[in-house]
Amino acid sequence: MNIAHADLLLEMQKRTSEKRATQNETVLWQHSRDESYHQPVSPDVVVYPKSADEISSILTFANEHHIPVVPFGAGSSLEGHCIPVKGGISLNFQEMKEVLEIRPDDFLVKVQPGVTRTQLNLALKKFGLFFPVDPGADATIGGMAATNASGTTSVKYGIMRDQVRNLQVVLADGQIIQTGGLAAKSSAGYHLTSMFVGSEGTLGVFTEITLKVYGIPESVLAARCTFPSVQSAVEAASAVLSSGTGIARMELVDERSIIQVNHNSDTAYTEAPTLFLEFHGNPSSVTYEASLTKELLENFGGLEWVEERDSKARAKLWEARHNLAYAFKHGYPGKSMMFTDVCLPLSELSGAIVHARKTMDEIGVPGAVLGHVGDGNFHAILMYDAVIDAERKKADQVNGSIVDYALRKGGTCTGEHGIGIGKAKFLRKEHADTLPIMASIKKQLDPNDILNPGKIIL
Ligand X SMILES: Cc1cc2nc3c(=O)[nH]c(=O)nc-3n(C[C@H](O)[C@H](O)[C@H](O)COP(=O)(O)OP(=O)(O)OC[C@H]3O[C@@H](n4cnc5c(N)ncnc54)[C@H](O)[C@@H]3O)c2cc1C
In the bound state, the residue with its beta carbon closest to ligand X is 143
359 part of the interface to ligand X, by CB under 6 A: no
Binding residue for ligand X, selected from 68, 135, 198, 453, defined by CB under 6 A? 135
Binding residue for ligand X, selected from 56, 140, 163, 245, defined by CB under 6 A? 140
CA–CA separation, 135 and 19 (whole Å): 33
- Least distance to ligand X from the beta carbon of 288, Å? 28
Applying CB under 6 A, the site for ligand X has a residue count of 36
Q: What count of Cα atoms within 13 Å lies in the side-chain half-sphere of residue 16?
A: 25
Nearer to ligand X among residue 51 and residue 270 (C-beta): 51
384 part of the interface to ligand X, by CB under 6 A: no
CA–CA separation, 128 and 313 (whole Å): 22
- Least distance to ligand X from the beta carbon of 390, Å? 26
CA 359 centroid distance within chain: 25
The answer to whether the beta carbons of residues 107 and 212 sit under 8 Å apart is: yes
The answer to whether the beta carbons of residues 229 and 273 sit under 8 Å apart is: yes
> What's 373's DSSP letter?
G
- Least distance to ligand X from the beta carbon of 116, Å? 8
CA–CA separation, 114 and 345 (whole Å): 34
87 part of the interface to ligand X, by CB under 6 A: no
CA–CA separation, 159 and 175 (whole Å): 28
Pinpoint the alpha helices (H) of 169-308.
192-196, 230-242, 255-264, 283-299
Question: Which residues, 6+ apart, have CB-to-CB distance to 427 below 8 Å?
Answer: 413, 419, 435, 456, 457
- Least distance to ligand X from the beta carbon of 285, Å? 26
Q: Which stretch binds ligand X (CB under 6 A): 42-50, 135-143, 265-273, 393-401?
A: 135-143
Shortest CA distance to 111 belongs to which of 93, 94, 97?
Answer: 97
Category of 284 on φ-ψ map: left (φ > 0), alpha (ψ -120 to 50) or beta: alpha
150 part of the interface to ligand X, by CB under 6 A: yes
147 part of the interface to ligand X, by CB under 6 A: yes
88 part of the interface to ligand X, by CB under 6 A: no
Binding residue for ligand X, selected from 151, 302, 374, 453, defined by CB under 6 A? 151
146 part of the interface to ligand X, by CB under 6 A: yes
Q: What count of Cα atoms within 13 Å lies in the side-chain half-sphere of residue 350?
A: 13
Binding residue for ligand X, selected from 251, 308, 391, 416, defined by CB under 6 A? 416
Site string for ligand X, 234-273 (x = CB under 6 A): ----------------------------------------
- Least distance to ligand X from the beta carbon of 370, Å? 10
Site string for ligand X, 189-218 (x = CB under 6 A): -----------xx---xx------------
Binding residue for ligand X, selected from 115, 129, 261, 325, defined by CB under 6 A? 325
Question: Which residues, 6+ apart, have CB-to-CB distance to 197 below 8 Å?
Answer: 145, 146, 148, 160, 161, 164, 167
8 part of the interface to ligand X, by CB under 6 A: no
Contacts to ligand X by CB under 6 A: 34-35, 70-78, 81-82, 93, 113, 135-137, 139-140, 142-144, 146-147, 149-151, 200-201, 205-206, 325, 416-417, 452
